[in-house]
Amino acid sequence: MYNSLLLHNEDFHLYILAFDSDCFFALSKLKLAHATIISLDEFENEDLLRVKAGRTAAEYCWTCASSSIKYCMETYSLDHCSYIDADMLFFSDPKVLYKEMEDAGKSVMITRHRYTPQFDQSETSGIYCVQYMTFKNNEAGMAVLNWWVDACLDWCYARFEDGKFGDQKYLDDWTSRFNCVHELEHLGGGVAPWNVQQYAFSRKDGQVTGRELATGQSFDLVFYHYHAFKYAWNNTFRLTDEQYTLTRSQVKQLYKPYVYALATSEDQIAERASDIASYKRSEEGVFISERLGRLLVFYLMGFYKKFYAKRFFSYGIFN
């Protein structure tokens, strides 16, 4: 994700919260010019530590999302801050998204799930996705952020309860609760497995362009959210949750660049942080950089199959 941002605009700075020591060590070793790596010890405060024991690792990460934005704004005196999920790749400059909020005269921006109807989980998972959010460090923006921080400290669990789910369902009424919140309109911000069925994509001169099938509206893809992408087993990847459908073209235009990006990042880590104890070959698999040649063969053959009732990107048959 960092490298994809760097490819499209060098005028940014990432504040990366590392949730374990290996992550902090590896990222620090990379000496990323446009990033500040923050350890958990630096970040955690009394309020977070008070609720930590009662939440799972995932729930605690969700609890920390709002607090991480506040920490960065206050610690580094930022005039605005965008929260970005780590499992994303940028295909063009995201400044266009910030400009949209600026032009609307708002202090907070949130992104809608834009669910494809058959995958609509708005009722339980929320209308909006905590994937890309922007807050200005002004009175209006901080009022919204502080409200969210307090709500997440009070309740943030991986279950639907009393109209709440994690840190995400809290966003449902923000456009009516607060008068400073903008809902992103740009279709290129927030493409993900739960809405990608609504679009067709093509690439020209390095730019991925989307077209909304219902309206014919064209847009430059800004980022894609690789929800549930996982390393699997027997030299396979699981692209996303089994419920979501992907076309061969979408795999080629959206997922192939991500695999390349992961390979590049893994090579960077292997070169500069090879002494991390946990970064070792497993008995069941090999590094993604070693898989890349077979992966390319898979793409050339044009296969994409359903494997073990889940969506996998498998090339083991070419080993």
The residues near 80 (Cβ < 8 Å, ≥ 6 apart) are 73, 98, 134, 135, 136, 137, 141
- Extents of the domains making up the chain: 2-190, 228-318
| pLDDT digits 0-9 by tens, 296-316 | 333 233 333 333 223 333 322
Number of H helices, E strands in the chain: 12, 18
Residue 5 has pLDDT above 60, yes or no: yes
Using DSSP, state whether 146 is helix, strand or coil.
Answer: helix
Higher-confidence position of 302 and 238: 238
Phi-psi region of 216 (alpha: psi -120 to 50; beta: other; left: phi over 0): left
* CATH (residue range 2-190): 3.90.550
Residue 20 has pLDDT above 50, yes or no: yes
Residues in the chain: 319
Residue 100 has pLDDT above 90, yes or no: yes
Mean pLDDT of the chain: 87
Phi-psi region of 204 (alpha: psi -120 to 50; beta: other; left: phi over 0): beta
Confidence of residue 231 (pLDDT cuts 50, 70, 90): confident
Residue 23 has pLDDT above 50, yes or no: yes
What pLDDT shows up at residue 51?
98
What pLDDT shows up at residue 275?
65
Helix (H) or strand (E) holding 17: strand 14-18
Closest among 119, 123, 84, 70 to 1, alpha carbons compared: 84
**In 10 A of CB 46, how many CB atoms?**
6
Confidence of residue 111 (pLDDT cuts 50, 70, 90): very high
Closest among 311, 270, 268, 313 to 295, alpha carbons compared: 313
What pLDDT shows up at residue 291?
38
| pLDDT digits 0-9 by tens, 27-57 | 999 999 999 999 999 999 999 999 999 999 9
What pLDDT shows up at residue 206?
84
